[in-house]
Amino acid sequence: MKNIILTGDRPTGKLHIGHYVGSLRRRVELQNSGKFDKIYIMIADAQALTDNFDNPDKVRANITEVALDYLACGIDPNKSTIFVQSHVAELTELTFYYMNLVTLARLERNPTVKTEIKQKGFDSSLPMGFLTYPVSQTADITAFKANTVPVGEDQLPMLEQAREIVRSFNNLYGETLVEPKAVLPENKSCLRLPGTDGMAKMSKSLGNCIYLSDSADEIKRKVMGMYTDPNHIQVSDPGNTSDNPTFIYLDAFATDEHFAKYLPDYACLAEFKAHYERGGLGDMKVKKFLNSVMQETLEPIRLRREEFAKDIPAVWEMLYQGSKSARRVANKTLWQVKRAMKIDYFAEVKKHIKQKKNYDYFSNRK
Ligand code: TRP
């Protein structure tokens, strides 16, 4: 079996460091590992429209932003196919057939979708498109026969539903689709990076994100203003590192090399944490170090992003070419699906036409 990756993001905003440690960084490693036959990275504009159907301008503008973020992080269009979901019409067609294999009750049980419905205030006016997006996500994954889906933790329920749909399909119509598995970030702090304000999740509406495109000054301002341990008042007070976003960010980003370079008094993060926990280490020092780490990590990304942003038409051309090539692959799978479902009615007719056989069934009739 081939090793194929598919993953993607909704273009509803620029990508932030939560996306970076939760998935982007891993994708680039997997891309460069040489262990995969094919890698597809999808900008999920159709999915973004399921809760932004009244704001297509936002989705359109953010396709450019997300594409720039990908390129800036090191996703290389020569190694990975970057494409736009809505341009691959086969995905919507597959979605329609997969919908027969899922019940309303099952969709309503998806914990991620449930939370989103609450957050978005959809309780009384839930668009069907939104409720069914896990089905369309199954189409995204299966259209490319992906077996590996690198995502954040919140996407696990989607992968579970995808596997169920694949199993139902294969049971009913014969072995056709590939069951995918999720690949999560290696480190617990990367699973879900909290906001700079200590809230559980980074979210644009809360204004608690550090973006990959933030300037050096913005990064510094955000790091210096971060929420820490509210009970750590005096430098001498013992502090808490486990619910403290500054230390969670260090878990996700800091290496021993960073200590050697910026804080040689400590060999590693464990030593630094131990000092904070027993007291005597001030928040200012922690934040200054975190700022150095973040600056060093984000500067090359920001500079690459600025380079790519100088030629936006080239970015769109790359997306166009990627989408065309993704479409060819999805089309093949769609025909396999149709054959399995016995709805490939015209396959024979098309063969006749191709072979220029006479299939003029009507002319001989009187
Ligand atoms: N739901 C994902 C997100 O919120 C985006 C996405 C759409 C996706 N289709 C996918 C991710 C298929 C992985 C596989 O960002």
Looking at residue 358, its pLDDT comes to 60
Neighbouring residues of 331: CB distance < 8 A, sequence distance ≥ 6: 90
pLDDT digits (tens, 9 = 90+) for 103-144: 999 999 999 999 999 988 898 889 999 999 999 999 999 999
Is the pLDDT at 365 greater than 60, yes or no? Answer: no
Q: Are 75 and 31 in contact (CB under 8 A)?
A: yes
Is the pLDDT at 18 greater than 60, yes or no? Answer: yes
Alpha carbon of 148 to ligand 1 centroid (Å): 13
Cα–Cα distance for residue pair 200/197, rounded to 1 Å: 9
CA distances from 365 to 82, 238, 349, 362 (A): 52, 95, 19, 6
Cα–Cα distance for residue pair 112/156, rounded to 1 Å: 9
pLDDT digits (tens, 9 = 90+) for 47-81: 999 999 999 999 999 999 999 999 999 999 999 99
Most confident of 17-21, 41-45, 117-121: 41-45
Alpha carbon of 227 to ligand 1 centroid (Å): 30
Q: Are 166 and 142 in contact (CB under 8 A)?
A: yes
Average pLDDT, the chain: 94
Beta bridge partners of 41: 7, 82
Cα–Cα distance for residue pair 330/140, rounded to 1 Å: 9
Q: Is 59 in the pocket of ligand 1 (CB under 6 A)?
A: no
pLDDT digits (tens, 9 = 90+) for 175-224: 999 999 999 987 777 778 999 999 888 888 888 999 999 999 999 999 99
Is the pLDDT at 23 greater than 80, yes or no? Answer: yes
Side chain identity, residue 177: L
With cut-offs at 50, 70 and 90, classify the pLDDT of residue 99: very high
Token digits for 100? 């027969």
Q: Is 139 in the pocket of ligand 1 (CB under 6 A)?
A: no
- Per this entry, what is the length of the chain? 366
Alpha carbon of 260 to ligand 1 centroid (Å): 38
Looking at residue 109, its pLDDT comes to 95
In three-state secondary structure terms, 5 is strand
Q: Is 27 in the pocket of ligand 1 (CB under 6 A)?
A: no
Cα–Cα distance for residue pair 193/245, rounded to 1 Å: 8
Q: Is 45 in the pocket of ligand 1 (CB under 6 A)?
A: no
